[in-house]
Amino acid sequence: MITSAVLTHLVVRICHKKFPVPFPASCEHCWSQWGWLISEDTFQAFLISMVSEKLRWQKEEMDSAQAELNALKRTEEDLKQRHQKLEEMVICLDQEAAEDDKNIELLRKKDELSSALEKMDNQSESNDIDEVIIPTAPLYKQILNLYIEENATEDSTFYLGGALRQRVIDLDVFLKHVFCLRALMQKARKNVGLSDLYCLL
C-alpha cells in the first residue's frame, strides 16, 4: 500500500507542475492539512486521475509533434521531387539550346554555300571555264599544261601509231616529242615535291 507521505509528495509534485498556485513543499504539512479531509482510496483515485491527465496531455503533445514532423517530411520529399524535375527541365533546355545552336550554324553555312553557288553561277555565264582553274604558282601551271598535253598525246597515240605505220610522220620526231614531254613532267613534279608519276603507273 502507498503511504500517505508518498502520495502527498506525488500530488504536490504533479500539482506544482500543472497548476500555477504553489503547494506546500513539506509533505507532512500537506498531509496534516488534507489528510483528515479525504480517505486514502479517494486520494489514490485522485492521484491516478491526475497522472492519467498528465500522461494524456503529454501524449497529445507527442502526437501533435509527430504529425508536424510527418508533415515536414512530406514537404521535404515534395521539394526534393520538384527540385529533381527542375534539374531535368534545365538539362532539357540546355540540350535544346545546343541543338538550336547547331541548327543555326548549319543554316548559316547553307546560306553561305547558296550565296557562293549563286555567285559562281553568275560568274560562269561570263567567264571561260579555263580561267576558273588557275594554279597558284608558275610551276604548278606548267605541270597542269604538261599534264593536259600528255593526256592529249596519249589519247591520240592510237592514231599516231597508225600514222607511223603509214609513214606519215617520222618515228624519231614522235618519240622525241613524247619522251621530252614526260621528262619535263617528271622534273616539274620533282621540283614541287610530288611523287614520280611514271613509277606509279
Interval 96-120: pLDDT, tens: 999 999 999 999 998 888 888 888 7
Residue 23 has pLDDT above 50, yes or no: no
CA distances from 76 to 45, 69, 174 (A): 46, 10, 97
Check residue 39 and give its pLDDT.
74
d(CA 70, CA 74): 6
What angle is formed at CA 45 by the lines to CA 44 and CA 47, rounded to 5 degrees?
60
pTM reported for the whole predicted model? 0.33
Per-residue pLDDT, 30: 44
The answer to whether residue 18 scores a pLDDT higher than 60 is no
pLDDT at 35: 46
More confident residue, 160 or 128: 160
Query: What pLDDT shows up at residue 187?
Result: 74
Q: What band does 37 get if pLDDT is binned at 50, 70 and 90?
A: low
Return the half-sphere exposure (C-beta side, CA atoms, 13 A cut-off) of residue 112.
6
pLDDT at 81 over 90: yes
pLDDT of residue 79: 94
